[in-house]
Amino acid sequence: MKEKELQTKTKYACNRWFTFAILVLGAGTIFKLSSLKDAFYIPMQQYMGLSHTQIGMALSTYGIVQTVGLIFSIYLSDRFSKKYMISFSLIGVGLVGIYLSTFPTYTGFLVAFAILAIFGEVTYWPVLLKAVRLTATEKEQGRIFGFLEAGRGVVDTIVAFSALSVFYFMNESAEGLKAAILLFSAVVIIAGIISFFTVPHDEVRDVNETGEKIGKNLAAFQGMLRAIKMKEIWVVAFTIFSVYCVYCGLTYFIPFLNEVYAMPATLVGAYGIINQYGLKMVGGPVGGFLADKVTKSTAKYIRAAFIVAAVAMTVIVFLPHESMSIYLGMSLTLGFGAIIFTMRAVFFAPMDEIKVPIEISGAAMSIGSLVGYFPSTFAYTLYGSMLDKSPGLPGYKMVFITMIGFSIVGFLISSYLVHVIKRKQAQ
């Protein structure tokens, strides 16, 4: 009997981790086309005939559609099975990629980015977070979200460098750019097809809280209202918001090191790779481990990390940067970035600690995404305007002090979140 139970548990664990691996594959590939500029900014200008303004407008279009679409996602993410939502979104992104490989007109380019936002941010991302939550127990939430972030970093790196290699071996030509875009498209379509056959269904409810049969549409609508009325979800959402405000500031470490420390171009590239991929791969597992094993609560870990971040950035502000070694400057900024990446990796995990009902997980993740990622609509403009008004080190100090302010706000919100969780556990 014990042997049979052990076999059942082993089979369940294998299936669970296999499903998680497929989810990571999709999560690491779906955003490569919408972030095409990261690796191919100059080729996009050369061969697609796009200006800085046009590329910026496409990204703004993406952000606007994302923000508006996430409002509708609060309803959609629990209305349909995650199997269909995830696979449909991945394949949809791939088909848009094939269209982009034809180098469409500027209008077509804008429409493509709007559709990418719908598939990637509205119908996919909240549902993915819901699916990841369901693959782990309550005590594993920090680690599972940490592994998701690390896995995305690994897949990101492999796929990005594969596309760059294709572009390079095709003489960095227009055909090489088309081939790279088609590679991104093929990988994400394959991930979608695999997801369709491997990601399990989740039950789409057609009853209300009392068990009365009311139909799937009404059940999803009522679930959306339940999620909106659950104040604990909003506390988690604003905790994510605070982390993301600080995270947006990491972008300005590269120009800071370049202008204040005169960092050479080769080091800029190396620093960018470490900052974008290395910290994601390391920060995810570390944040998950600390949250699950040390603080035994993701909310408590985020609260503690906000304190560490505020203190660390205060030290950075008062250091004599003009006389310091560039390698020390790089180490300090990467160290601070590592703290933020450990928080970013697990900031959706408290959804389990506040006991969000399984049937409204998608709606909860949509609210978290809507509020949590909202800083991307204003933070970069805020930080950039500070640097334009006060060029050089004074401007960067203003940015860093603002990041300290957001860390303090985040500490206060996460402290309240810990209080809410304790009260809920007591009940």
Binning pLDDT at 50, 70 and 90, where does residue 212 land? low
Whether residue 287 is found in the same domain as residue 397: yes
DSSP code per residue over 337-401? HHHHHHHHHHTTTHHHHTT--GGGHHHHHHHHHHHHTGGGGTHHHHHHHHHHHSTTHHHHHHHHH
Q: Are residues 67 and 36 in the same domain?
A: yes
What is the pLDDT of the chain when averaged over all its residues? 85
pLDDT beyond 50 at 12:
no
Together in a domain, 222 and 194: no
pLDDT digits (tens, 9 = 90+) for 137-155: 777 777 888 888 888 888 8
Establish if 211 belongs to a structural domain. no
> Are 228 and 188 within one domain?
no
In this structure, what DSSP letter does residue 210 have? T
What letter does residue 186 receive in the DSSP assignment? H
Q: What is the pLDDT of residue 36?
A: 84
134 and 244 together in one domain: no
The pLDDT assigned to 165 comes to 86
Query: Same domain for 190 and 257?
Result: no
Residue 209 lies in a domain: no
- Looking at residue 17, its pLDDT comes to 80
Residue-level pLDDT at 208: 56
Q: How far apart are CA 141 and CA 292, in angstroms?
A: 7
pLDDT of residue 219: 74
Angstrom distance (rounded) from CA 356 to CA 377: 27
| Residue 234 · residue 371 · CB < 8 Å | yes
* Final residue in a domain of this structure, among 164, 198, 232: 198
Predicted local confidence at residue 37, as pLDDT: 79
In this structure, how many other beta carbons lie within 10 angstroms of the beta carbon of residue 137? 9
Total domains, the chain: 2
Q: Is 170 exposed, middle or buried (0-12, 13-18, 19+ CB in 10 A)?
A: middle
Three-state SS for 160?
Answer: helix
**Residue bearing the bigger pLDDT, 7 or 112:** 112
Four-residue CA torsion sign, 362, 365, 366, 367: positive
As to burial, measured by CB atoms within 10 angstroms (0-12 exposed, 13-18 middle, 19+ buried), residue 269 is: exposed
Do 288 and 144 lie in one domain? The reply is: no
Which residue segment(s) compose the domain that 413 sits in?
218-427
Q: How confident is the model at residue 209 (pLDDT cuts 50, 70, 90)?
A: low
- In tens, the pLDDT along 225-250 reads 888 888 999 999 999 999 999 998 88
Q: What is the DSSP letter of 278?
A: I
Averaged pLDDT for residues 392-398: 91
Same domain? For 222 and 161 the reply is no
Tell whether 194 and 226 lie within a shared domain: no
Q: 307, exposed or middle or buried, with CB in 10 Å at 0-12, 13-18, 19+?
A: middle
Q: Assess whether pLDDT exceeds 60 at residue 9.
A: no
pLDDT at 14 over 80: no
Alpha helices in 30-140 (DSSP H): 37-48, 52-76, 82-100, 106-117, 125-134
Same domain, yes or no: 343 and 384: yes
Do 222 and 194 share a structural domain? no
| Region at 381 (left for phi over 0; alpha for psi -120 to 50; beta for the rest) | alpha
For residue 143, being part of any structural domain is answered with yes
Q: Which of 408, 254, 406 is nearest to 337 (CA)?
A: 254
Q: Is residue 205 in a domain?
A: no
Residue 47, domain member (yes or no):
yes
Q: Which residue has the higher pLDDT, 305 or 138?
A: 305
The residue type found at 358 is: I
**pLDDT value at position 220?**
73
Quick one: 227 and 185 in the same domain? no
In a domain, 141, yes or no: yes
- The predicted model gives 281-299 an average pLDDT of 85
CATH of the domain at 35: 1.20.1250.20
